[in-house]
C-alpha cells in the first residue's frame, strides 16, 4: 500500500493546471516573444482539457500560443521539463498537442524564428471591411491611442482565414463558446483595431470583435442578434466593449429593415454593458426626459426607443428604471417608495407566473403534490426574494449611473 501511495504522489507531480500552462500572447515586436509581461492566460480550458482543467503527464508544462498582433499568424509550441513516460512504464501522458490542433486552424508555425520573420509582414495587414467608427483612448504610458471599428463579412478577401484564427480565443474566454458557420451570409462581423507605429509605419493590432446573426422577421424585417463578443484581455477595462456595442447599435439603427437588436444567451457582464450603452443612447430622447420619468414607463417610451434606436420594450423598460433612479431623490421616503414599487412591479412578473401555474396545478395534482408546490411558493419567501432582487438591481443601476457621470 505504501508503494501505491508513493507512486500516486510521484504521478501527481505530473499534473498541470491548463489555465496556467497555456500562454497566450499578441506580438508586435520581436522582443515581445521573450517578454513574460506580454503573456496572458485563459479563463477557461475545460472544452479542451476537461472539467477539472488539468493535463497529466508533464512537469513544467508550457503551451505557447503566440499571435502576431494584426493578422494573428500563429506560433504553437509545447515545452516541458520532463514527461511521465521517461520515468514510469505503462502510464500514458495526455495528448496535449492533439487537443490544441482541434482548435487552432492549419497554417501555424512551430518555429520561433519563422514566427518572428512573420512580424515583418504585419505592415501589409489592413483592417477588413468598412470603417464605422474611430475613437481615442488616453494612456498614461503611450498618450492618445487611436482605435477603429470595422464591419466585415465573409466576402472580404482573406477574412475567412483570419476569422478562423481570431475565434480560437473564444474557447479560452467564453465559458460555453462554440465556433460558428462563418460561411452563412447572414453573419455580420464587427472588428476593433488599434493603430500603432512601428519604424515609422502605421500598423493595426486586433483588439476584439463581435458576431451578429440577422434573423428574418415576417414580413420584411430582420432582427440582428448578438452571438459572441470578446475584447481580448490586454485591452479589457479600457472601454472598448462599450464603444463596440454602441457603434453596432448605431449601424443597425441606420437600416430601415431592422426591427430591433437582441442578444443570444447574454452573460451578466454583457447585460450590464448593454444597459450602460442603451442608457447613453436613450437619455436624450424626448419621452425619457426627466419631467416624464416620474409618470411611469409609457407606451410612448417603448415606441420611441423601438423606432429611433431599435430597442425592444423589455430593454427600454430597464433604461427607464435606470434614468428614473438617476432622477429620483432616494432620501425622500415617498419618492423612494414609489420608485421601489415601480421596479418591484416588474420583478414580480415571474412570481405572478408561478401563481398562475399553481391555479392550473390545483386541477390536476394530488393533494400531497399540491402541498409540496405550495411550500415552494410561500408568500413570505417570495417577498424576501423580491427584496433581494430589487437590491441587486438597484446596485447594478447605481454603478451604471456612476459610470455615465464619470464620462460626462
Tell me which of 264, 357, 369, 387 is the catalytic residue: 264
Q: Report CA dihedral (122, 128, 134, 135) to the nearest 10 degrees.
A: -50
* 201-217 and 39-40 strand pairing: unpaired
The secondary element (H helix, E strand) that includes residue 152 is: strand 143-152
Cα gap 373→354, rounded to integer Å: 10
Q: Grid coordinates representing 174?
A: 467564453
The pairs formed by 127-133 with CB atoms below 8 angstroms and a separation of 24 or more are 127/191, 127/193, 127/204, 128/152, 128/156, 128/158, 128/159, 128/162, 128/189, 128/191, 129/153, 129/156, 129/159, 129/189, 129/191, 132/190, 132/247, 132/250, 132/251, 133/243, 133/247, 133/250
Q: Is the peptide bond before 290 cis (omega within 30 degrees of 0)?
A: no
Instruction: Name the 3-class secondary structure at 360.
Output: helix
Buried b (16+ CB within 10 A) or exposed e, 133-145: beeeeeeeeeeeb
Is 202 within 8 Å of 170 (Cβ atoms)? no
Distance CA 138, CA 149 (A): 17
Does 264 qualify as catalytic in the annotation? Answer: yes
Contact 357, 377 (CB under 8 A): no
CA–CA dist 95, 100 (Å, integer) = 9
H helices, E strands: number in the chain: 16, 14
**Active-site amino acid positions:** 264
Amino acid at each position: 500500500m505504501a508503494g501505491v501511495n508513493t507512486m500516486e504522489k510521484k504521478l501527481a507531480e505530473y499534473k498541470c493546471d491548463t489555465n496556467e500552462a497555456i500562454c497566450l500572447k499578441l506580438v508586435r515586436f520581436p522582443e515581445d516573444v521573450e517578454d513574460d509581461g506580454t503573456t496572458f492566460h485563459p479563463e477557461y480550458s475545460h472544452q479542451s482539457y476537461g472539467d477539472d482543467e488539468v493535463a497529466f503527464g508533464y512537469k513544467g508544462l508550457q503551451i505557447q500560443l503566440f499571435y502576431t498582433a494584426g493578422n494573428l499568424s500563429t506560433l504553437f509550441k509545447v515545452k516541458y521539463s520532463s514527461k511521465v513516460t521517461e520515468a514510469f512504464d505503462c502510464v500514458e501522458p495526455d495528448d496535449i498537442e492533439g487537443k490544441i490542433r482541434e482548435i487552432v486552424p492549419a497554417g501555424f508555425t512551430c518555429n520561433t524564428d519563422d514566427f518572428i520573420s512573420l512580424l515583418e509582414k504585419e505592415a501589409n495587414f489592413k483592417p477588413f471591411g468598412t470603417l464605422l467608427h474611430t475613437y481615442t483612448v488616453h494612456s498614461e504610458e503611450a498618450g492618445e491611442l487611436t482605435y477603429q471599428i470595422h464591419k466585415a463579412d465573409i466576402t472580404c478577401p482573406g477574412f475567412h482565414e483570419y476569422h478562423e484564427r481570431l475565434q480560437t480565443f473564444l474557447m479560452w474566454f467564453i465559458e460555453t463558446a462554440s465556433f460558428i458557420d462563418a460561411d452563412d451570409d447572414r453573419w455580420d462581423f464587427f472588428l476593433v483595431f488599434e493603430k500603432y507605429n512601428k519604424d515609422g509605419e502605421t500598423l493595426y493590432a486586433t483588439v476584439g470583435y463581435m458576431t451578429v446573426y440577422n434573423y428574418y422577421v415576417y414580413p420584411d424585417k430582420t432582427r440582428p442578434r448578438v452571438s459572441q463578443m470578446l475584447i481580448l484581455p490586454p485591452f479589457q477595462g479600457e472601454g472598448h466593449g462599450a464603444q463596440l456595442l454602441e457603434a453596432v447599435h448605431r449601424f443597425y439603427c441606420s437600416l430601415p429593415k431592422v426591427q430591433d437588436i437582441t442578444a443570444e444567451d447574454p452573460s451578466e457582464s454583457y447585460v450590464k454593458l448593454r444597459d450602460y450603452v442603451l442608457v447613453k443612447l436613450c437619455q436624450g430622447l424626448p419621452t425619457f426626459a426627466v419631467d416624464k420619468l416620474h409618470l411611469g414607463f409609457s407606451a410612448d417610451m417603448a415606441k420611441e426607443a423601438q423606432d429611433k434606436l431599435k430597442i425592444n420594450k423589455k430593454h427600454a423598460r430597464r433604461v427607464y428604471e435606470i434614468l428614473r433612479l438617476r432622477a429620483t431623490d432616494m432620501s425622500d421616503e415617498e419618492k423612494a417608495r414609489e420608485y421601489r414599487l415601480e421596479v418591484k412591479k416588474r420583478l414580480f412578473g415571474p412570481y405572478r407566473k408561478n401563481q398562475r401555474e399553481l391555479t392550473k396545478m390545483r386541477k390536476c395534482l394530488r393533494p400531497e403534490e399540491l402541498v409540496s408546490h405550495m411550500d415552494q411558493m410561500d408568500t413570505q419567501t417570495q417577498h424576501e426574494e423580491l427584496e433581494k432582487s430589487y437590491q441587486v438591481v438597484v446596485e447594478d443601476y447605481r454603478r451604471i449611473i456612476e459610470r455615465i457621470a464619470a464620462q460626462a
